[in-house]
Structures are given as structure tokens and as C-alpha cells.
Structure 1
């Protein structure tokens, strides 16, 4: 306790000369004056330049103007135009500005965002055609003929047997959208190189069966029923197919020729095993067959018959037809 009080006394004795010195108070007054000058400069010089309090723009009147003309009017005044759609009112002109915020003749800073509200006319609704499984060349005209626009066309990771056909679309087929809506398409890259095992989806709802098959790398597009279950599929589960191959699922009863899968192989009995071993031993005891002897080479063909000759070595006389005499004793036939 005594040490603490002694420290306090020492501190007071040290600071007392400083507080009583004239230079300390002069420095303090100089610092306060400099801080005051900085605040005044910031408030009356810097901030007006930054906030532009002295600059003002009068908001023009854009009510009862078409939406496009209202946006141009606000931009020419140095303001930012932002449109807001209002529910259609049949008592007012379609695509006309019905209100604005801030109101006309209001003084605002340049670049202020001005909201204008437009009485948007109802758009004609069209139904999106389903173009899944169609080629790109057939899908695009089908969509444009329905009053829709073609958006992005992307390559899908989902493989199908048919390269370049549509695998997905957004919006999906059957949905009602405003005329002129863009439709995004995904195209199939075709078959893959890997072999995948076909999962067994019998007994599952069609939607879940399609999801399971597509996650396995296979293609399926039927049926669209949601409440029934898959009764049979082709090919059956357990088979191996090339990635992207098609598997068909059915919610109807299987046909008569659709047999159940073959039973698992039966374990052989001890008698059958001993019989098989006896047959193998008998085959091992059979003598090896002697090698076949080579066949004799074919004999040379006989020489052609020699023409008869007279004693003087000249050929025998011939008749008018060129035939030689056929008699060996000198008589003519």
C-alpha cells in the first residue's frame, strides 16, 4: 500500500512541472486550432464537392408517356430510369406510365434512380412443345413455329443412343409461357465407351425408375405415369449395356413371351460329382491316337501316244481329212 501511494506522489511531482509550463499550453492550443480548421475545411469544402449539395436536377414528368419514351426522357435529364411493372388495368392505356417516384418537379442529385410504373399489357400465352428425343434440326423449327425463341444450346452429360438429339429443355414441354420466351436445349453426346449394369427398377414408380436408370448412365423416356409402378423392363436388370443405351420400362402387364429370369445354378449332388470325376478319368486313360501316315505322292501321268512311222522314218500318209492309216499290216479300211 505504501509503495502504491509513493508511486502516485512521484507521478504528480513529474507531471506538475509539465502542466505549469507555458509551452505545453501553447502546443495544446495550436493542436485544437488545427483540428478546428480541418473540420471546417472538410465540412464546407470537401463534403460539398463529394455530395454535390449545390447540384440539383429537376425530375421531369413521365406519366402518361410510353415506357420507352419515359426511359429516354429520364436518361436525357441525367437520371437513372428503372421500370416497374404494374398489374394490367383495362381502364388505362397498355404499356403506358401510370406513376413515378420521386414525383415530377422534385429536385434531386444527378444520377438519382427514378422509378416509373408501367401498365403492362397481358402477353399471349403459348404452350411449350415437348422436343425431347427430337434432333436439333427438328426441335428448333418446332419451337419457333410455336412462337418461342431458341436460347442456349448446350451439350449434356446425359448420354443416349442418338447423338445430337434433345435430352432436356427449359421450360419443359407442356408448360404455358408468354410468347417470345427463350427455350434452352441440351443435346446428347451419343454412346459412351463404358459398360454399365442395368439396375432392376420393377416395382418402382416410373419417375423414380427413370431417375435410377439415368443415374446409372442409361437412357429412358417412358412412361410418364406417376401413380402406377413398373411391371416389367427390357432388358432385365443385371444385364450389361453400353453407356447411353436405352432401357424401356412398362406399367402394363408383361406379355406372355416375357418369361421370368432363369433360376440360379443348382449345386451338384455327390453322385453327380463322382460321375463327372469318372468321366474325366476315362478321358485321361484313353491312348493317344497314332499320327496319320502321309499319303503317297501321285504318280506321273503316262506319256502321250507316239504317232506311227514308216520304215524310212517319215510319218505315215494321211487321207484328205488328215487322219493317219489305222492298219498295221498295210491294208486300208
Structure 2
């Protein structure tokens, strides 16, 4: 492959403490080392991408940088026996888009161990409608089921219900027969979207973010998928029914977790951590295969926005101000 080939990418520069966005031309030879070069067809916007654009050093240490923790596309060069030219693949997680140039460019070069073979019954576009958010939602559901969660136990709460992870988790859980309670940070609209996703009801911030300080609350749900962290996660644990399961995959509210041991030793609650970034490949492929088959239920077109690189700035700013809804995919 011609190392001098040019392609378009969104680059973030650090200048005197400020972070500047530019769309510019790059060359294949500028990409980091790796066994596989992928011509990116689609990417998607995630909270980590927005943080990288904003200069969060906990996500990206060195600039200039190309964000984009998700990518789907076609292999154009490979020195690995695992992949050949023309293979359609998915690359998410690991270090992509964090400190390794990511999917907001028309080409990426990555280690072969980061690459997932795209299931045949999932298009490149559908793969990015799911992306890291969908994979995280699927992994959360998979871990709940593996822990023994069943619809018969009672309702499951999903926080961040109008966001990427939350909306897809609701759709999957609902398709599996679970009664889903949607928890959002605000109550100004969204009822139509939540109903179409499959949510049975919605709770206010006052319920999902208890401020009483009590170590245990009246049981209100049988399990939960949380993207918020902090006091919201603490509330979900304290109000969970005996032998219920709560997954944790995010910290958009806070990275802190206050509480006591009582929910665990008096009710047998299980807190399950979700690490989508370093998930083992066998489990990763299993979840992607389910997202391409029995869990391929997220088909609400109104919740999916397709953006170009040039239009992406608007959606990044919405995400940084926690006003984004559904999924934003990027067509390269």
C-alpha cells in the first residue's frame, strides 16, 4: 500500500492551553504501527471522543491527535494471517481513539488483536450504530444474564436512558421480555422515544438519585444497568431487591461511590463491573454476534443521526453539555 496516500482526518491540537479542531489531510505513513490498515467507512461519537476533543488528559495524553474510539471498514493491508485484503471488520476499544489515532479519519492502522471480524448479517453502518455504546450495552446485558437475572425477578432500571448505551440496553432488555424502567436526568420530553425503545415506565431524578443518606432503601427494582456512577449508582444498589444484579459501565456523573456493605450482606446484591475497553476477544466476538442476530433490535431511525466530519463539531458540543440523545454515526 502506498505510504504516501493522503486521507482526511479530524485532528485536535493543543495551543497555549486551548484545544483546536481541524480537518486536514494526512498520509498513511503518519499512522502508528500495526499489522492491519483499515479504510474506515463509518465511525460513531462516544463520550470518550468528546472528552478527547476537549483535551481531557485522562483520555488522551498527547496532542495532536485523531479521536474516534469506534471504526468499521474494509481491510486494505494486512501482515497478519488473521485478516486479508477486503475483509469487513470492526475496531473498537483498546487504545483506539485515545492515544492511538482513531476512527475520525479515513484510515486507521492497528494491531491485529484489536480487530473483530464483522458478522455477515450486520452492515458496516449498523455496526457503528451500535459501536462501543452498543457493545457496552450488549456486554452489560450479557453479564446480567450470566449472573442469573431473569424477567421473572422484576423490573430492571436503565440510567442514561436517552443516551447511546442506555437506549440500546432498553431495546435489548425489552426484546428479552424484561420490564424496563427508564431513568433520565430530566423530564422534558423523550416519552415517545422511550416508549418506542420498549421502556415500560420512567422515574424522576428524585428517585434515581436519593439524597436521604440512608444505607438501605425500599426495594423498587430487581436489577439495573448504570452509566452514571456516583450517588445514582449508590441509589440503584440501595433500592435493589434481594439477589439482584447491578452493572456499572460509566462515570458521567461521578467516579465516586459512597455506601455501606449492607446491600451486599443483607440483600445479596451483586455489583458487576463492565470493562468494554479490554474485554477478552472471545466474549467480545460473542456479544457482537448477538448484536448481529437475536439482539439486533435497535432500529429506531429517529434515534440515529448521520454526520460528516465537518458537521461533527455540533454533536460533540451537545455531548459535552450532556444534551445528546441516541446515536451519532460518522460517515467518512
Tell me whether the two structures share a fold, i.e. TM-score over 0.5: no
Structure 1 or 2, whichever has the larger Rg, is: 1
Asked which structure has the greater RCO (Cα within 8 Å, sep 6+), the reply is 2
Looking at secondary structure, tell me which structure has more strand per residue: 2
Scaled by the length of structure 2, the TM-score of the pair is 0.18
